[in-house]
A and B are shown apart, each in its own frame.
Chain A
Amino acid sequence: MSGMSGAVALNTFREAVRDRVLYNLILFALLMIGAAVLVGQISIGIERLVIINLGLSAISVFGLVMAIFIGVGLVYKEIEKRTLYSLLARPVRRWEFLVGKYVGLLLTLVVNILLMSVGLAAALFAVGRPLLRSDLSILTAIYFIVLELALVIAVAIFFSCFSTPMLSALFTLAIYIAGVFAWEIRDFGALVHSPAVHLAVRVVYYTLPNFHNFNIIAAVGHAERVPFSLIWQNTLYALLYVTLLLLASATVFSRSNLK
């Protein structure tokens, strides 16, 4: 990453923080406290499971909402308010700006998720068991959530390069849902006995960002071990896909006339 992108990234992070993006943490904390208190009373024996499932799901959902709704406005807001004009008159290339915006939001989300993770750890501790070795896989699940969100932000930025925030948010959400259910789409295709449909479904399956890859919340809840190869494969997958999306975004954005 160039120094140019770095400057943009830091400013994006600062904007997010000053826009009170971190307020969601209060909600998360309340959720965790409430869960820790309630869970002891109602679900005997599966306190840990409930806290892990709830905590990881909440981290994922909060992150997703932020990634989509901040992501689609990242570029659009700077064009709309014309703050981009004086920025692009610096020796900044457009792709550097785009990468900076991307990294800035990713940084924001990582910090946010780290704080939420601390909250989750506290809640786990509160329901009364020392942390175990198998809890390391919770970290893996959180890492996968970060990878997932890294991909979501890239999708959001891609759409926002040629669409309004409202539509971009819709598109991004649609892609996310489709990506979560990519498996199902492929299996449906397998039912149809037309080679053309088979091919089409396979193309769609491998083209969609497969968000299913990153969901190991259920497995982690039951203290299943996550194979190391899945970790590096998912990392590489996210890396490649983000690169692809940023490349596409930069290509579109570098050619667009600013309003």
Chain B
Amino acid sequence: MSYPTRTRALWTALAGAALLFAAIAALQMRIDSHRTEGQGAEGLLLRSPAVVKNLSLGYGSLLADIYWTRVVQYYGERVATRNARFDLLWPLLDITTTLDPKLVTAYRFGAIFLSESGDGGPGRTDLAIRLVQRGIKANPDVWALDGDLGFLYYWHLKDYRKAAAAYLRASENPQSPPILKMMAAHMEQEGGSLQTSQLIWSEIYASTQSKAVRDLALKTLRQLKVQQDLEYLNQLAGEYHKRFGRMPVSLDEMENAGLLKGIPVDAEGYPYILSPDGTFHPSPKSPLAASVSADMPSPAAK
């Protein structure tokens, strides 16, 4: 071929290639939409950590990093789409920590979110404890994991003795902050109190580097505040009963009696509701309304 025609042929080929690529991309989008509708596109190629570790051919830690990103991505996507199924969270964490037993972040993430229930996790405290205990075994120097174990016993299982023991072990590490000793002490004396909960969640909030954990801690702290507010408001209602021989029926009555100034609101700005029986409740519209009381050690347990 002479050179001009060959050059023209080249440009024609390039233009053709560009067109074909565009068509291919468009088609791929259709195929993709198909697949997500059809079968949820969820899958874990290999569920056995031992097999994955063998297949990693010595590149286990690199593969662990990949799986760890999968964990974060998987969890984030589930929460964002309000898809309350977390079937793969445990296997993914299991594989991640088997591939790299030193990946402390993964244990800590698992401690919080494996045990969460409802929209925030699968509610598998048993698996969370198993994971954290494995983490402590592999990383005996990391006091934070002992703290996480204490948290699991305290918050989800309400086993204050075991929780106190875990916090105490954490506090024995010279690098741990002094607050852990205080937590261990609180746990022994008044495991179920609001103050203990607030203390622990504040510590979680302050010490975590994960945004997801921080968000959860903030939300829990606010819910605890709701709890505290309600306790206080109901105390005031009791005071009203003492003075007038009946429960208050409106906020105005409370205000006139000098017990309230203005309308009390929660951390999200939603006013508390006084129900006809004279007790206070969070506004059903408030995101904090789904109270922590189900999980929370009840104040009565004092």
Query: Is the pairing of A and B real?
Result: yes
Interfacial residues, chain A to chain B (CB-CB below 8 A):
183, 187-188, 190-191, 205-207, 210, 213, 218-219, 224, 227, 229-230, 233-234, 236-237, 240-241, 243-244, 247-248, 250-251, 254-255
Of B25-33, B49-57, B125-133, the stretch lying at the interface with chain A is B25-33
B13, A233: Cβ atoms under 8 Å? no
Residue from the list A188, A190, A205, A227 in contact with B34, Cβ < 8 A: A227
User: Told that A183-B41, A241-B24 touch, could you supply 15 new A-B pairs with CB distance under 8 A?
Assistant: A188-B69, A188-B73, A205-B28, A206-B25, A206-B28, A224-B39, A230-B34, A230-B38, A233-B31, A240-B20, A240-B27, A244-B17, A244-B20, A247-B16, A250-B13
Residue from the list A213, A251, A254 in contact with B31, Cβ < 8 A: A213
- Is residue B212 contacting chain A, with contact meaning CB distance below 8 A? no
Whole-angstrom distance between the Cβ of A93 and the nearest chain B Cβ: 11
Could you say which residues of chain A place their CB within 8 Å of the CB of B16? 247
Could you say which residues of chain A place their CB within 8 Å of the CB of B34? 227, 229-230, 233
- Is residue B21 contacting chain A, with contact meaning CB distance below 8 A? yes
Could you say which residues of chain B place their CB within 8 Å of the CB of A236? 27
Whole-angstrom distance between the Cβ of A29 and the nearest chain B Cβ: 28
Whole-angstrom distance between the Cβ of A230 and the nearest chain B Cβ: 6
Whole-angstrom distance between the Cβ of A222 and the nearest chain B Cβ: 10
Report the number of A-B residue pairs with Cβ-Cβ less than 8 Å: 64
Residue from the list A224, A237, A248, A251 in contact with B27, Cβ < 8 A: A237
Within 8 A of A (CB), among B48-80: 69-70, 72-73
Whole-angstrom distance between the Cβ of B106 and the nearest chain A Cβ: 15
Could you say which residues of chain A place their CB within 8 Å of the CB of B38? 227, 230
Whole-angstrom distance between the Cβ of B95 and the nearest chain A Cβ: 14
- Is residue B242 contacting chain A, with contact meaning CB distance below 8 A? no
Within 8 A of A (CB), among B1-28: 1, 6, 9-10, 13, 16-17, 20-21, 23-25, 27-28
Could you say which residues of chain A place their CB within 8 Å of the CB of B9? 251, 254
A206, B24: Cβ atoms under 8 Å? yes
Q: How far is the CA of A236 from the CA of B41 in the complex (A)?
A: 22
Secondary structure call for the A interface: helix
Could you say which residues of chain B place their CB within 8 Å of the CB of A243? 20
**Quick one: closest B residue to A191, CB to CB?**
B73
Q: How far is the CA of A227 from the CA of B10 in the complex (A)?
A: 39
Report if A255-B6 is in contact (Cβ < 8 Å); known contacts: A206-B28, A227-B34: yes
19 chain-A/chain-B pairs, Cβ below 8 angstroms:
A205-B28, A206-B24, A206-B25, A207-B21, A219-B39, A224-B39, A233-B34, A234-B31, A236-B27, A237-B24, A237-B28, A240-B23, A240-B24, A241-B20, A241-B24, A243-B20, A244-B17, A244-B20, A247-B17
Interfacial residues, chain B to chain A (CB-CB below 8 A):
1, 6, 9-10, 13, 16-17, 20-21, 23-25, 27-28, 30-31, 34, 38-39, 41, 43, 69-70, 72-73
Could you say which residues of chain A place their CB within 8 Å of the CB of B39? 219, 224
Residue from the list B13, B21, B28, B31 in contact with A230, Cβ < 8 A: B31
Report if A191-B20 is in contact (Cβ < 8 Å); known contacts: A227-B34, A230-B34: no
Could you say which residues of chain A place their CB within 8 Å of the CB of B72? 191
Whole-angstrom distance between the Cβ of B198 and the nearest chain A Cβ: 32
Could you say which residues of chain B place their CB within 8 Å of the CB of A218? 43
Whole-angstrom distance between the Cβ of B28 and the nearest chain A Cβ: 6
**Quick one: closest A residue to B73, CB to CB?**
A191
Q: How far is the CA of A1 from the CA of B77 in the complex (A)?
A: 48
Q: How far is the CA of A205 from the CA of B25 in the complex (A)?
A: 9
Q: How far is the CA of A250 from the CA of B14 in the complex (A)?
A: 12
Whole-angstrom distance between the Cβ of A159 and the nearest chain B Cβ: 16
Q: How far is the CA of A247 from the CA of B18 in the complex (A)?
A: 11
Cβ-closest 3 pairs across A and B: A206-B25, A244-B20, A251-B13
Q: How far is the CA of A227 from the CA of B16 in the complex (A)?
A: 31
- Tell me which of B1, B17, B72 has the highest count of chain A C-beta atoms within 10 A of its own C-beta: B17
**Quick one: closest A residue to B76, CB to CB?**
A191
Report if A247-B20 is in contact (Cβ < 8 Å); known contacts: A191-B73, A229-B34, A230-B34: yes
Report if A190-B20 is in contact (Cβ < 8 Å); known contacts: A240-B27, A255-B6: no
Q: How far is the CA of A251 from the CA of B31 in the complex (A)?
A: 29
Could you say which residues of chain A place their CB within 8 Å of the CB of B27? 233, 236-237, 240
